[in-house]
Amino acid sequence: MNKTVLIKVDLEDNLSSNLNDAFQNVDQVIKEQNDQGFKVVSVTPLTAGVKEYESTENQSYGYGYSFTTGLIIVFEEIQFD
C-alpha cells in the first residue's frame, strides 16, 4: 500500500527561514511515516514561476525565476516477511 503526503513550502519570501521550516517539516513527516511502517519511495518538488517584462522606447528586457511551493512525498508500506 502506498501513501502520499503533500508538504506546502513557500521559498519565494524569506528563503533562509522558510527553507529551515521546510527541512523540519520534511524530517518530521518522514519520521512519522517510518514509525507507522512506511518508507520513502519518491520526493517530487512542486514549483511556481514569476516573469517580468519591461519595455521602453530604447530597450526591452525580461526575466523570470521559479521557486518551490511544495513537495509530494510518496511512501510505501514496508513488507516484513
User: What's the pLDDT tens digit per position in 17-50?
Assistant: 677 888 899 999 999 999 999 999 999 999 888 8
Cα separation, 43 vs 73, whole angstroms:
5
For all residues of the chain together, what is the average pLDDT?
A: 87
Predicted pLDDT at 64: 93
Q: pTM here?
A: 0.73
Predicted pLDDT at 16: 66
Say what percent of the chain tops pLDDT 90: 42
Strands 60-77 and 2-8: antiparallel
| Over residues 1-18, mean pLDDT | 77
Structural domain spans, the chain: 2-77
Cα separation, 11 vs 8, whole angstroms:
10
Pull the grid cell for residue 25. 517539516
On the question of pLDDT at 12 being above 70, the answer is no
Cα separation, 44 vs 21, whole angstroms:
18
Q: Is the distance from CB of 71 to CB of 47 less than 8 angstroms?
A: no
